[in-house]
Chains A and B, each alone.
Chain A
Amino acid sequence: MSKEILDSDDINRAIRRIAHEIIEKNRGMQNLCLVGIQKGGVILAGRLASQIQSIEGGTIDVGALDITFYRDDIHTKAEQPVVKRTEIPFTIDNKTVVLVDDVLFTGRSIRAAMDALVDFGRPAHIQLAVLIDRGHRELPIRADYAGKNIPTSFNDLVEVTLGEDSRKDKAVLISGQ
């Protein structure tokens, strides 16, 4: 059974609010950069960046981070990993890096992403922005910015679709058995 938990308007409002919160918390966008986690976080990071730019003016660095090599489940997962590109064509030293992902669940991806990120430099701060926080953390990790908190069962699936056409954006909760 699946049900839509966010439609495209909900998602756009959430992105706008997160953009404002990021600017407010960091007092502007100086020294700030966004890094989306492959693959759900990359488009979201791009959307957030254009939102931030339209509020503040100027440009903000946006990167993409693949965390495949930093995951702790290659030996236990059924399907084999497919590696995607990491592109961080700017220095993250002494910057405030906002990690961006679509869904925050156990926190293990974020742990891997932080490990991956520090191999690229030494950020002054790392913050976390997610569209959906669905609970069930297995590590002491929390989001600084969350679009929506959604209560789920552990076996549920949350699928976020963000595309070229933002009118088709949606988030769906698929009940697990």
Chain B
Amino acid sequence: MINSKDLLGIKELAPEEIYHILDTAAGFKDVLLRDIKKVPPLRGKTVVSLFFEPSTRTRTSFALASKRLSADVVNFSVTTSSVVKGETLKDTALTIQSLGADFVVIRHGSSGVPHLLGNLLNISVINAGDGANEHPTQALLDLFTIQSRKKKIKGLTVAIIGDIAHSRVAKSNIYALTKLGAKVRVICPPTLMPAGIEKLGIDVFHSIDEGIRKADVIMALRLQLERQSKGFLPSLEEYFNLYGLTDERLKLAKEDAIVMHPGPMNRGVEIESAVADGPQSVILEQVTNGLAVRMAVLYLLSGVKK
């Protein structure tokens, strides 16, 4: 049912493929709750992670997911590699393939790099974030979390608050949620809203109070702090006052609404601590689910005919 050897973006996936990944992830979630959290399907396979941007949770999550599947994991550290000697991305990738890797998990600051590698290599390429384009496994784990809490995705109202213009998490989630029939709202200052975003079939709000009204799911995005110095925002305090997710505002959403955040959080900027640690928060559950979803992705891609 998964047709490509690579996971490049949600844009490239059909709804049935997304559901197949979520169903498989449910099986791995059960494995993670057992005493022995390791299963053997990727024994003898090698996963190389190639991160050109900093990451703690995604990288760790992929490494742990690989180990739980009995694969070997190698972290390719860009700062201490031949990349600093001027090796091209293409040569680095071909070298990794020649070393006998079966998967490359790549994060890169430029959009489209995973697609480039996917065409270049015979092995599976997994996008762990490319520029402002996509972060597909984050969207998949968000879907998994929503589905396990709400028992469905279709028909839900999901409000995404934050830096939509620079956020690959937002982009992947918009593709994923609209494909599965959820109603998506995006809320952010006009300076952080990409032109033409409403063409993706979503509703645009500049007021958080209106945007989160009666929402089933609220997703706060991390505000990259350097945005302020680049003149997109007057100040972080101002941003919190206008767009911060507070306990008071959360009351406008449905009573049983869940609060999500892809991490890492800036407490007191996009989200108040009382909300992040409150009863409606599923932020830590997202992290656990991320492991199950990444196991499912690695596992299913390993079964695709190359």
Partner-B contacts on A (CB < 8 A)? 66, 68-71, 74-75, 77-78, 80-86, 115, 119-120
Contacts and interface: CB of A to CB of B under 8 A. Distances in A.
A70 B39 contact: yes
A86 B303 contact: no
B302 interface: yes
Interface string B144-173: 000000000000000000000000000000
A83 B24 contact: yes
B30 A85 contact: yes
Given A69-B28, A74-B41, A86-B30, 7 more contacts: A69-B39, A69-B41, A78-B305, A81-B24, A85-B30, A86-B27, A119-B39
Nearest to B30: A86
A115 B40 contact: yes
Interface in B251-306: 299-300, 302-305
Interface in B28-52: 28, 30-31, 34-36, 38-41
Nearest to B69: A69
Contacts of B40: 69-70, 115
B1 interface: yes
B23 interface: yes
Contact of B41 (A71, A80, A84): A71
Contacts of A75: 302-303
Dominant SS among interface residues on chain A: loop
A115 to B, nearest CB: 7
Nearest to B39: A69
B31 to A, nearest CB: 7
Given A74-B303, A75-B303, A77-B303, A83 B1 contact: no
A83 B41 CA distance: 13
A74 B302 CA distance: 8
Contacts of A119: 34-36, 38-39
Nearest to B2: A80
A153 B26 CA distance: 37
A81 B300 CA distance: 8
A108 to B, nearest CB: 13
B207 to A, nearest CB: 43
Contacts of A120: 34-36
A70 B2 CA distance: 20
Contact of B1 (A70, A80, A85): A80
A83 B39 contact: no
Give me the 5 closest cross-chain CB pairs, A-B, nearest first: A83-B27, A69-B39, A119-B36, A74-B303, A80-B303
Given A74-B41, A80-B1, A83-B26, A69 B303 contact: no
B41 A70 contact: yes
A11 B196 CA distance: 64
B23 A69 contact: no
Given A74-B41, A82-B23, A69 B31 contact: yes
A69 B36 CA distance: 13
A70 to B, nearest CB: 6
B109 to A, nearest CB: 33
25 contacts: A68-B27, A69-B31, A69-B41, A69-B299, A70-B39, A70-B40, A75-B302, A75-B303, A78-B305, A80-B1, A80-B2, A80-B20, A81-B303, A82-B23, A82-B24, A83-B23, A83-B24, A83-B26, A83-B28, A86-B30, A119-B34, A119-B36, A119-B39, A120-B35, A120-B36
Contacts of A68: 27
Nearest to A73: B303
A119 B304 CA distance: 27
Contact of B300 (A66, A80, A86): A80
